Amino acid sequence: MKQRILVIEDNEQNRYLTTFLLESQGYQVTAASDGAQGIELAARLHPHLILLDIQLPVMDGYAVARALRANAALADIPIVAVTSYAMTGDREKTIAAGCNGYIEKPINPETFVAELERYLRAR
């Protein structure tokens, strides 16, 4: 069975690149373009990993991470923030909101999937 990854990302080009990289390595990818849709899809699909942009419409990634952690059925799913927020304290803020990891944009296509697999193995 393929591992399921939910990508919550509002930028179409970023969604495409992330999906392409993951699907080329055999993962099943579902994408949401805003936070509320991401929460709904997470509850329905129970993915093995959630990739979460922080700057999202409807609700930001911090609120999405807190909502996912508040749902007992979803609380153990690893969440990795994939964000352009790279100022001092941004990594800590994502972890405090409930994310397990943090990857800065722009992503490195050569190492991106390997970085994510650490979180899948740890689950």
pLDDT of residue 121: 86
What is the pLDDT, as a whole number, of residue 88?
A: 81
Mean pLDDT, rounded, for 94-111: 96
Alpha-carbon gap, residue 35 to 38, rounded angstroms: 5
pTM, whole model, 2 decimals? Answer: 0.96
The string of pLDDT tens digits covering residues 39-76 is 999 999 999 999 999 999 989 999 999 999 999 999 99
Q: Which pLDDT band holds residue 10 (cuts at 50, 70, 90)?
A: very high
Q: Compute the distance between CA of residue 80 and CA of residue 102 in angstroms, rounded to an integer.
A: 5
Model pLDDT, residue 86: 73
Q: What is the DSSP string of 63-114?
A: HHHHHHHHSTTTTTS-EEEEES--STTHHHHHHHHT-SEEEESSP-TTTHHH
pLDDT attached to residue 35 = 97
Indicate the pairing of strand 49-52 with strand 28-32: unpaired
Q: What percent of the chain has pLDDT over 90?
A: 89
